Amino acid sequence: MSDDGLLSSLRYLFADFLDEEDTTPPFLPDGLPEEAVPAVSEGIHLLMDYQGATYARLYVDRVKRFVGRIDAGLLAEIARLMAERMAYEDAIRIAQCKLAEYRDSGGEILSTDIKQFRFDELVDALPEIAADPVLMVLGKIGWEHRRVSIPFSTASRWGLRRLKAEAWLRRWRRFSIRYGQERVWVERWLHMIARALLKQPQSVGAIVDTATMIKGHGDAYRQGLADWHAIIDGLVKPVFDGVLPLDDLADAIRQAREAAMPDPRQVSLKRAIAEIRARAIGAGGNAAAE
């Protein structure tokens, strides 16, 4: 066996622990409208930097689902928002960005950012096999939701080494609990867009735009995610399942989003959703009676 063959076999064996070999970015999808090219290209570039070629290919495959099905502007918006969501902000990403900032400045920007995380949020970034026992122990001692401040610093040699070590964990990201959760979220969002195209095409834009509800990390991220699921479960899905007679879903989503407050109990949002549902069911009942 040649050295090359042996090395490539060893690389394959330890592929999960080594960095990705393939660094070729994927091609743009066939038939992609001109208007959507910049957004998709940017998305590919972002995800190549974020994770690697395989992840960028997954992004292109997801974009492909809508090529030729919706207008170019909306496709570009889906591509832009999807790339943002696929490059979700975890401790690894923050370390990657901080290192990039340091490198781009030629080593001149020396700063420290302190970010707040919950323990479970940090552990979720680890591979499931390592995260599960840690989460179990944290749960038993009641530290799961305990907050911790993490410094991301380029101001010292130790800080830089730590950032590099955290950014190195990128290769394990796809085995993490958080990755699985984000994958399910993106698929659910795309699924809702696809169903809107069939059931209420006029509401597609509003559903695409709901992705802007989820941003950042920590409390803001969790709040946005919970609000998003409340709107999808309370309004969007029931309309597509045919159990909620709502003619203007886009307006209902707008009203619900306006009612969403930074409140973990979601009182105002839940009330708004209940009111919209009651109105729609009432109107549906009246229409049936007539």
Partner 1 sequence: MDTSHLAEHAGTAGTLFAQVFVVATLSMKTMIPLRVFAILTNFILIGTAIPSHNYATIVVQTLVLGLNSYRLHQMLQLVRDVKKSVTSNLSMEWLKPFMTERPCKAGEVLFYKDEAADSMFYIVSGRYRLVESGIELPIGAIVGEFGMLTPSNVRTQTLECAESGLVLSVTYDQVEQLYVQNPAFGFYFLKLVTARLFQNIGRLEQRLEQQALAVKIA
Where does this chain bind partner 1 (CB under 8 A)? Answer: 58, 61-62, 65, 184, 187-188, 190-191, 194, 233
Cβ closest to partner 1, residue 115 vs residue 174:
174
Please identify which residue in the block is written with the tokens 């029931």.
238
Cβ closest to partner 1, residue 35 vs residue 187:
187
C-alpha dist (Å) from residue 162 to 33, 78, 97, 133, 156: 43, 35, 13, 24, 10
Cβ closest to partner 1, residue 171 vs residue 191:
191
Least Å from the CB of residue 198 to partner 1: 9
Phi, psi (deg, nearest 5) at residue 66: -110, -5
Least Å from the CB of residue 180 to partner 1: 11
Phi, psi (deg, nearest 5) at residue 127: -60, 145
User: Rounded to whole angstroms, how far apart are CA atoms 75 and 79?
Assistant: 6
Q: Where are the beta strands (DSSP E) in the chain?
A: 112-118, 147-153
Cβ closest to partner 1, residue 171 vs residue 188:
188
Least Å from the CB of residue 57 to partner 1: 10
Least Å from the CB of residue 263 to partner 1: 23
User: Rounded to whole angstroms, how far apart are CA atoms 83 and 65?
Assistant: 15
Least Å from the CB of residue 112 to partner 1: 40
Cβ closest to partner 1, residue 99 vs residue 197:
197
